[in-house]
Chain A
Amino acid sequence: MPTEGSACGPAIPLARWADRQLDALARDFGLPRLSGSTLLGERAAHGGYRIAGKVSAGLGGSRLMPTRDGNWFALTLIREVDRELLPALFGDADLDVRDPAAIAAAVLRSDGAALLETGRLLGLPVALLDEQPVSPAIDVIARGPRRDRAPGHRPLVIDMSAIWAGPLAGHLLWQAGMEVVKVESRSRPDLIRRDDPATFDLINQGKASVLVDFASDAEKARLVTLIRRADVVIESARPRALRQLGIDAQRLVGEVPGLVWLSVTGHGASGEAADWVGIGNDCGVAGGLSRALAQACGTPGYVGDAIADPLTGIIGARAVLQALRRGEAQRIGLSMSAIAAMALDEERAFDAPRLEAELRAWGTAPGRPFPALRRRALHAPVRPLGADTAACLPERAPC
């Protein structure tokens, strides 16, 4: 089997679960065989990350901190503007928002549930060690008319998502033979392009690159024209942000036969949770992975590297492939935290003793390198930013 711990570090827990998903994708949908440890670990392995304890691997933007009432609070601070919200989170105008020790002290003066509620209201990526995801992992939130595709039809995917989970889903659909167009905002392109080009290239190779000015009604109209002839849309905007941009997912799914619309979210695509922010590491905590680690080895920590991202990318690709086969238009909401919880439950049901052993090994390895991996080869060019804008978004729609 492809997933084994290497000499440099223990296996990433849930890599074997990912292997089984990828086996099924190869068997049922003809994807080339990829390994779970590669998709879960390639960013960390190539970035030289070390296994994290209570500060997340790599950039270290997410921290697990004990609360007054004996819980653990995860807070991810990677946007400067989010730090300005910390006085409101803790009710303390004098907090030094740049000092991790001051922030940890403020967490220790607070109760976990209150921090979670206020943090979510403030739009901060937060989680609590013992929370339960409130949304289903995979939730069909709208349906539309069917489309029967001719044999040999090559589906067109419009990938408007950013960072890791959504782009990985798009990458797997590209591996399945689909045409993928990556759409980025002119004012805020996908920052992983700049911050981690090696990972960007792996998960965005072979995709056409289109830039859209979301402040321009004309450009947005051209994007909607492109979406109306697509088979799949992937996006990871908060539903409110999408509406404020003027993209009406529910309406498009109701009108375009067979359109499969994947909405990648932290904690759910409908209800109150749709407004919550979640990122890979805190969503892993919200999905119960750090609780499982604490149960296995006595102290909580981060499992993997932003693990909810690659788990969600794999599940997203599977959900799209299954929906395309059914032919019915659907909007599918993915919750990263619920997917992490689902993967944990399924792995526990599959082989609980082995999972426990892996969690124990992981929880006692902070500071050691991530498992070493051979770098995947690029099989297609990475298109320069915006290189395909004119071709994909013509000023006059093709007749």
Chain B
Amino acid sequence: MAITDYFPMLSGLLPKQLRPPAPRYATPSGSPVAGLVAEFGDVSSVCRAGESVRDAGYTKWDLHSPFPIHGAEQVMGMKRTKLPLAVGVIGLSAAGLGWLMQWWMSINYPIVVQGKPPHAWQPFVPIIFESGVLISAFAALIGMLSLNGLPRPHHPLFNHEPFLDASNDRFFIYIEALDPKFDPQKTRDLLTKGGASRVDLVEDL
């Protein structure tokens, strides 16, 4: 996920390696091709088509549905997220930092409360726990958003009128033109053969 996805106006300023690759295909009118979107009428047909897209080896594609489909991860061949490991490491580090913070504070500004020793570990525990939980929650939320490439204010699919039904009663498979296996004709044939009720070209801005 490149920064230019969010701020296209920056792409001119970036070094060449960081600029998004030039579109491989263009419509007759000259606008770049973002991808192909196929529409389906029900869960079982979109899942069957999804499996054929997965088996054909596509990597840059997505499945859209108005509601969560159990097993969609398997249909799309998605691996389990690494996020828990990151959250665990960050959470434990934050708990350790919470401890360090209190230890440092009790050295720099020792206060005797109720005759308790200034380095007693007992009052440290709730703050160690809370800092671990708080930072874990932040890490989970921010990590989930950034791994999903969110927030994303714009997407080429938004220009495609029929896609609005993805929040109503239609199911979609969208394959990006950036996918190495993408081919205007072969990809269209694959989706049509998969049982799509319609397949449309999506233009970029």
Decide whether A and B are members of one complex: no
